[in-house]
Structure 1
């Protein structure tokens, strides 16, 4: 069994940490019914990039660190742990360690409703439009953005969704950020946007690395809002944080009438600090209540980040390098 690290405090500092490029590898996991512990050689063969736009990046953030990946035994054991968790929970997950480039996914290409996670996309698209117009966010836009991200305000999100061009504008933003499986609701219900963990990881990369349409200043502005979410909404991704780490996130949670009142519970964001730099996206649906969804997400986050801390090895023979 993989060791689960103890839950870390949810408080964080605002220390500046520069998370720069590394390798991204998302693993295509076995289909339902496949053996829980695949042959390690087959696991290694299944390692692949999620798309051509996610190329290796250089250099790694920590001086002297070497690009790495999860060793085959750890990867197979982690896959079995998450397969067991998926028996009772419908979720998709994608995690990247920016220190080493090691990454892991489970159901990362399955679409889930965004709920309030869509607000992070709306903010990124708002900042992109302002930069294209060669201006800063207005005071009114910034006030609405703060309410949308820090407090997860819905009415201001309605306004900003209209402001960025409604569904057509959202689709333009999807293309600009290179999202591949994100689809807005045809009626403009932003919380019913469909997305994948892989796409949410792409968006997080665009907020950290110089590979998207935003300037460094725009990325920093968005991250500052993600790092100031009100304490009662800090859960999920933050489970991986230590006391000296910075956490930025946007969570989403809502019961859905068209799913029998079961809950969508999502968490996307990052944890960066002296000992770690993770981008994390976990999406889930069909949860009996919000608390159960949060517990599942935090268990999954701790499983993956704990495995990365235990089982990352130098990637000297990777065919992807």
Structure 2
């Protein structure tokens, strides 16, 4: 069902319609846990400071129609999506409180918690930890993540820092498998607000480092949030994907991040499971994101590229 998100502030302010361009092309990726890809150089992102502007918000009928289209697009899988337009104040959620597997999306949470841990100790990341953090986010390295998960306190640390971050339904797996972390799109949007808008417990220098990694990851892992980026937009994101033996080897996919440019400023979080394969999962996730953003921006002014243009199988 559709929900309006509450992240400590009202997210249903009326706002104006902005425009943009769908741009990105993807090549087939191997079955690994995901990461992210920038569409412009790192360091160009500033915290959201643009106040909401006046203009048309989504009407009841528009929201109801969007719910119908979103439900149809994701009819074969289980998913949740949360989007916040920081310029207009418009927020949209569809099953945003549904707990779903994160796969490597959890690595963004782990790095944030690692910074919380070392700052609590009165220090910072060592050069070795910085190197491992880079491999974890830019290249989605699973082995280094194991060590960093232990370093930030393992299950006990995760639970404590999750409470400090304001998560309401994000839980570590009791076996210590960070890839089996369960979370919700709403909680992932809360994490993005900590990182992007500075509404949280880590320093600006720490946030800047995390954002830099999100904006400069391996190009072959570019998909998800970036589908709605135009040529002048900056994208930061972290993706996750994995087949799940407990679900008949059907795939769980997630993408969380931001798109910011001259005319836009979005936070986006999608988690999903039950995809028959990786390629169709990416296509479904990107269709969901595109549908929501196009509706917020005025209903298809930019025009969509075809599935063949956006993902080479």
Give the TM-score band, short-chain normalised: 0.7 to 0.9
SS at match of 1:135: coil
Number of aligned positions between the proteins: 268
Structure 2: distance between partners of 1:147 and 1:233: 13
Q: What displacement does 1:68 show? A: 6.6
Instruction: Find the counterpart in structure 1 of residue 134 from structure 2.
Output: 146
Instruction: Find the counterpart in structure 1 of residue 289 from structure 2.
Output: 301
The alignment status of 1:241 with 2:229, answered yes or no, reads yes
Structure 2: distance between partners of 1:115 and 1:214: 24
The alignment status of 1:12 with 2:39, answered yes or no, reads yes
Comparing 263-272 and 73-82, the one that deviates more = 73-82
Instruction: Find the counterpart in structure 1 of residue 218 from structure 2.
Output: 230
Alignment check: 8 A CA contact 1:68 1:100 kept: no
Superposition TM-score, scaled by structure 1 size: 0.80
SS at match of 1:69: coil
Q: What displacement does 1:65 show? A: 2.4
Q: Deviations over 1:7-39 (max 9, x none)?
A: 31266112623232xxxxxxxxxxxxxxxxxxx
Q: CA RMSD in A?
A: 1.8
Alignment check: 8 A CA contact 1:236 1:294 kept: yes
SS at match of 1:310: coil
Alignment check: 8 A CA contact 1:150 1:226 kept: yes
Structure 2: distance between partners of 1:19 and 1:81: 32
Q: Deviations over 1:42-89 (max 9, x none)?
A: xxxxxxxxxxxxxxxxxx515x82387322232122111012123222
Q: Deviations over 1:82-103 (max 9, x none)?
A: 1212322211000001111111
Structure 2: distance between partners of 1:84 and 1:110: 17
SS at match of 1:145: helix
Instruction: Find the counterpart in structure 2 of residue 277 from structure 1.
Output: 265
The alignment status of 1:215 with 2:203, answered yes or no, reads yes
Runs of 4+ in structure 1 over 4 Å off: none
Q: Which runs of 5+ in 2 are unaligned?
A: 1-19, 26-37, 300-313
Structure 1: distance between partners of 2:61 and 2:47: 28
The alignment status of 1:205 with 2:193, answered yes or no, reads yes
Q: Which runs of 5+ in 1 are unaligned?
A: 21-59, 312-321
Structure 2: distance between partners of 1:123 and 1:283: 19
User: Could you tell me which of 304, 307, 310 is aligned with 2:298?
Assistant: 310
Structure 1: distance between partners of 2:45 and 2:210: 15
Superposition TM-score, scaled by structure 2 size: 0.82
Q: What displacement does 1:228 show? A: 0.9
Q: What displacement does 1:267 show? A: 0.6
Structure 1: distance between partners of 2:55 and 2:136: 37
Instruction: Find the counterpart in structure 2 of residue 181 from structure 1.
Output: 169
Structure 1: distance between partners of 2:109 and 2:239: 12
Instruction: Find the counterpart in structure 2 of residue 119 from structure 1.
Output: 107
User: Could you tell me which of 290, 306, 312 is aligned with 2:278?
Assistant: 290
Q: Deviations over 1:170-225 (max 9, x none)?
A: 11111111111001000100000110000000100110123211122211111001
Instruction: Find the counterpart in structure 2 of residue 155 from structure 1.
Output: 143
Taking CA–CA contacts closer than 8 Å with sequence separation of 6 or more, which of the two structures ends up with the larger relative contact order? Answer: 2
Comparing 165-174 and 81-90, the one that deviates more = 81-90
Q: What displacement does 1:6 show? A: 6.3
Structure 2: distance between partners of 1:145 and 1:13: 21
Alignment check: 8 A CA contact 2:47 2:198 kept: no
